[in-house]
Amino acid sequence: MLEIIKQPWPWYVAGPLIGLTVPVLLILGNKSFGISSSLRHVCAMCVPAKIPFFQYDWKKELWNLFFVLGIFFGGVFAVTFLANPEPMQLNPILVKELSVYGITDFSSLIPVDLVTWDKLLTLPGWIMMVGGGFLVGFGARYAGGCTSGHAIMGLSTLQWPSLVATVCFMVGGFVMANWILPLLLIL
């Protein structure tokens, strides 16, 4: 059984399994799928201030916090028991392009050359980690949800704002990966 889970699953199996979370959540309790809302629930639970945004019955959304904890522990389980000892298989064109920027160590899921403390404490590292983190948080709040909530739940329930948000997320990712990241890597 563990060997089946360790293998990459084809898109026609993994995609429908992800997509089936939407009807299951709707049928089991009219719940919406999304991850960024869990931060709001934690803040509503822990912040005693009378901030209107956090004044709601967060206990009804406790399932979402368990869902996020399940994602976390699922990741811990996968790293511990399902790790693939083989090196990452990357397209040779990508390897060649990244080597121009000094990125050559692909022994991890994220290139090791990008996630060292030395790199983090540089201007490009600071921009990517702090600036990127701010933009992701701001964008999720401004869009009324994160990529998973809009792209999986919102699109499947035919919500126009989710289509707009998903298109904007994709365009932002394209711009970042193709235009901004190369500039940051040469700094």
What does the pLDDT look like over 38-52, one tens digit per residue? 888 998 898 877 888
Is the pLDDT reported for residue 66 higher than 90?
yes
How far apart CA 153 and CA 46 sit, in angstroms, is 27
Query: For residues 181 and 129, what is the distance between their CA atoms, to the nearest angstrom?
Result: 12
Whole-prediction pTM value?
A: 0.79
How distant is the alpha carbon of residue 79 from its chain centre? 17
Site of tokens 């990508």: 94
Domain ranges of the chain: 1-83, 116-187
The Cα–Cα gap between 34 and 64 comes to: 8
